[in-house]
């Protein structure tokens, strides 16, 4: 399809603008000269309250919506609060998508996650692997909600010709990531552990597993670039995978983090601990055919993220 540029002055609602993804989307839009971004904190607009969302859309009539708001968390959080994960995400999606259609939004992009795919999906994972097998049990509540969001966008497209599209990013990292000692994902967790080991002159850092599993990582600024690209260049039923297309072993990742942090000690692998899924890679060929690919290398992205961590988590400037 031919590109459809977005008017730089059109009202654009970025839902979830304070999160890892939403904040990157805002940075990207602002850098491109978009001047009419509609941003609301949770205290200003609770997306789980249907009447509040509808009032917001009635008053501000956003022309474009990027739905990055979600309740997210790791395995522990998903296991502990399954009712919250399915209910809150379903509420947010339903309210925003319904109000966007009702108030004549031109286009909406819904953001999901690679966890929507079956636990034993083929590798790399193509878009058509969706709903072909059982989900990973530890996050199925979140995954079911996200799958529902994809299907809701498709349903509104089918019944009402509403231009709602969906993008499914791979493992993300970057500024505004969660560096919590227990609840963060593997990359920010490693950055924090190696940094603290360096500062405290600890001789070794123990990392779980064998280091053999392969993972794909995408800098969140690359995702934000892909979001704007899709808004202008894609309109279709099927969701689109967004990844870097590059795999790295957990061992290589740990060595890279050690190098970026400049930690001089040793890495010790605790092979008594679980490895998790051996491989998890997205098939990004569909997005590549449309004309987009990731630009930020893992090393450069890690440097950028470590700098952000030092400035905002270790030594925040109040």
pLDDT of residue 78: 82
Residue among 84, 55, 224 nearest 145 (CA): 84
What pLDDT sits at residue 140? Answer: 93
**Arithmetic mean of pLDDT, 176-187:** 84
Question: Between 3.40.640.10, 3.30.70.1140, 3.40.50.720, 3.30.70.1350, what CATH number should domain 12-177+218-246+281-295 receive?
Answer: 3.40.50.720
Name the residue among 35, 166, 68, 160 with its Cα closest to residue 105.
160
Q: What local confidence, expressed as pLDDT, does residue 1 receive? A: 61
What would the pLDDT profile of 110-151 be if each residue is shown by its tens digit?
999 999 999 999 999 999 999 999 998 888 999 999 999 999
pLDDT band, very low/low/confident/very high, at 275 (cuts 50, 70, 90): confident
Whether the per-residue pLDDT at 181 is higher than 80: the answer is no
Q: 159 falls in which pLDDT band (50, 70, 90)?
A: very high
90-110 residue pLDDT tens: 999 999 999 999 999 999 999
Choice among 170-179, 273-282, 302-311 with the minimum mean pLDDT: 273-282
309 is catalytic: no
Per domain, the residue ranges of the chain are 12-177+218-246+281-295
Sign of CA dihedral 127, 133, 137, 142: positive
pLDDT band at 318 (very low <50, low <70, confident <90, very high): low
Looking at residue 116, its pLDDT comes to 95
Average pLDDT over every residue of 62-75? 92
Q: pLDDT at position 72, please? A: 87
Confidence of residue 207 (pLDDT cuts 50, 70, 90): very high
The mean of the pLDDT values for the chain is 95
pLDDT at 76 over 80: no
User: Pick the catalytic residue: 34, 142, 263, 309?
Assistant: 142
pLDDT of residue 184 exceeding 80, the answer is: no
Question: In the prediction, which pLDDT does 186 show?
Answer: 87
User: At a CB cut-off of 8 Å and minimum separation 6, what does 111 contact?
Assistant: 21, 66, 67, 68, 70, 166, 167, 168, 169, 227
In tens, the pLDDT along 26-57 reads 999 999 999 999 999 999 999 999 999 999 99
| Predicted model pTM | 0.95
Identify the CA nearest to 15 among candidates 45, 35, 50, 60. 45
Percentage of the chain modeled with pLDDT above 90 = 87
pLDDT tens track for 298-314: 999 999 999 999 999 99
pLDDT for residue 139: 86
């Amino acid at each position: 399809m031919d590109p459809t540029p977005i008017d730089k002055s059109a009202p654009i609602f970025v839902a979830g603008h304070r999160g890892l993804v939403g904040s990157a989307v805002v940075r990207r839009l602002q850098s491109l000269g978009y001047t009419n971004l509609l941003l609301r904190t949770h205290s200003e607009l609770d997306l789980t309250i249907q009447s509040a969302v509808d009032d917001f859309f009635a008053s501000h009539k956003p022309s474009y919506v990027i739905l990055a708001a979600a309740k997210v968390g790791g395995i522990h959080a998903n296991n502990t609060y399954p009712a919250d994960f399915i209910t809150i995400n379903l509420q947010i999606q339903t309210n925003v998508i319904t109000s966007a259609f009702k108030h004549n939004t031109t286009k909406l992009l819904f953001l999901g996650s690679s966890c929507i795919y079956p636990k034993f999906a083929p590798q790399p994972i193509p878009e058509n692997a969706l709903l072909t097998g059982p989900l990973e049990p530890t996050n199925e509540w979140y995954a079911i909600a996200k799958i529902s969001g994809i299907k809701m966008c498709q349903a509104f497209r089918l019944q009402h010709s509403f231009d709602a599209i969906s993008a499914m990013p791979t493992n993300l990292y970057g500024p505004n990531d969660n560096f919590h000692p227990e609840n963060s994902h593997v990359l920010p967790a490693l950055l924090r552990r190696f940094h603290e080991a360096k500062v405290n002159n600890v001789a070794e850092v123990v990392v779980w597993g064998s280091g053999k599993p392969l993972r794909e990582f995408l800098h969140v600024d690359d995702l934000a670039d892909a979001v704007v690209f899709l808004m202008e260049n894609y309109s279709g039923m099927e969701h689109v995978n967004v990844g870097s297309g590059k795999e790295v072993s957990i061992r290589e990742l740990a060595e890279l983090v050690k190098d970026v942090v400049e930690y001089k000690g040793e890495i010790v692998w605790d092979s008594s601990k679980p490895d998790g899924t051996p491989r998890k890679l997205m098939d990004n060929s569909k997005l590549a055919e449309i004309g987009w690919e990731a630009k930020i290398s893992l090393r450069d992205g890690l440097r950028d993220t470590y700098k952000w961590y030092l400035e905002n988590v270790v030594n925040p400037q109040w």
